[in-house]
Amino acid sequence: MASKIDQMRKGTTTVVILKLLMDVGEPLHGYEIIRRLEARSQGYFRFKEGLIYPRLHRMEQEGLLESRWLGEPGTRRRRVYATTEKGRHQLEAELQQWEAVRQGMSLLLGLEKARS
Amino acid sequence: MTVDDVLARIHAHLDLDAEREHELLEEIRAHLEEAVEVVRARGLDEEAALAEAAARFGVEEVGRELQAAHVGWGTADGVIAAALPVLCALVLRWLVFAPDGTAVGWREVLVRPAFWVVSLAALLLPLLKFPRWRYALASWAFFWALSVVFFAWPALRW
């Protein structure tokens, strides 16, 4: 059961990162993204912190995010990430899918009554 | 144990170009330093704080995942960087030279739209494809080097 939940978490990482960055409205670095996701999910969304970076880099390769460095060379520079237009479109599409899944599963599991 | 020791463990899993590895490790260094500060604020000493931060970070697993995320990309881009200027130079060669190697005059070459289309494509395609503009410029320079050879050596056959 724990393994299945972990798989679900892995599958949702992209959409939760996009949603967080859209809601915050400013670029964030990896550490800040991890902290805010944990806080938002009240501890539910927690995994090895460093794994955020391969995910962020893949999202950037896919064109969903763009990054830039903050700070001068020789100081503690941070790489911050922001959504792209493509990332915003993908987020909209995934949120619609999630809503459809949520409604369907709620009905099937009897968590919600069907509207007559 | 120091932050450099942790980064060395991650670096051991990486086999990428030096610039990319440097950027990855710099990004992770900032994360670890900030994580250590947060843990130290709870009262732990430097070494214990780093141990906790490294455990939460997932050093070995992250090293493997970073390698997997970046390795294929570099190889494919290297192939494109080599092949694209050659292809564009060959197309340009066939546009401005007759198949028997007879050269068209320079003035006529410069007024041909195809010359400008191919020349711009040889620059714009790498600029759009590669995240680092200097790779695109290197590709474009290679294209012109080949084209100059073809222009200056019209008898060159293949």
pLDDT tens by residue, chain B, 158 residues? 899 999 999 999 998 888 889 999 999 999 999 999 999 999 989 999 999 999 999 988 899 889 888 876 556 666 777 788 888 888 877 776 655 666 666 677 777 788 888 888 888 887 777 766 777 788 888 888 888 887 777 655 54
Q: Do A50 and B59 touch (CB under 8 A)?
A: yes
Catalogue all structural domains in chain A, each as residue range(s) with its CATH number.
Answer: 2-108 (1.10.10.10)
ipTM of the complex: 0.81
Task: Note the pLDDT tens digit of each residue in A48-84.
Answer: 899 999 999 999 988 999 999 998 877 788 999 999 9
The predicted pLDDT at position A72 comes to 80
Q: Choose between A53 and A106: higher pLDDT.
A: A53
B60: how many CB neighbours lie within 10 A of its CB?
A: 14
Rg (CA), chain A: 17
Helix axes A52-61, A30-40, angle to 10 degrees: 110
Within an 8 Å CB–CB cutoff, is residue B24 touching chain A?
A: yes
The predicted pLDDT at position A1 comes to 47
Give the tokens for residue A99: 């809503």
- The minimal CB distance from A50 to the residues B34, B58, B68 is found for B58
Within an 8 Å CB–CB cutoff, is residue A57 touching chain B?
A: yes
In the predicted model, what is the mean pLDDT of residues A78-97? 94
Contact list in A for residue B52 (CB cut-off 8 A) is: none
Task: Note the pLDDT tens digit of each residue in A44-57.
Answer: 777 789 999 999 99
Q: Do A30 and B33 touch (CB under 8 A)?
A: no
The predicted pLDDT at position B88 comes to 84
Cα(A100)–Cα(A91) distance, integer angstroms: 14
The predicted pLDDT at position B125 comes to 83
Cα(B11)–Cα(B13) distance, integer angstroms: 5
Cα(B71)–Cα(B135) distance, integer angstroms: 17
In the predicted model, what is the mean pLDDT of residues A34-38? 91
Within an 8 Å CB–CB cutoff, is residue A61 touching chain B?
A: yes
Answering whether pTM is above 0.80, one says: no
Within an 8 Å CB–CB cutoff, is residue A53 touching chain B?
A: yes
Within an 8 Å CB–CB cutoff, is residue A43 touching chain B?
A: no
A12: how many CB neighbours lie within 10 A of its CB?
A: 14
- Burial of A17 per CB tally in 10 Å (0-12, 13-18, 19+): buried
The predicted pLDDT at position B87 comes to 85
The predicted pLDDT at position A112 comes to 66
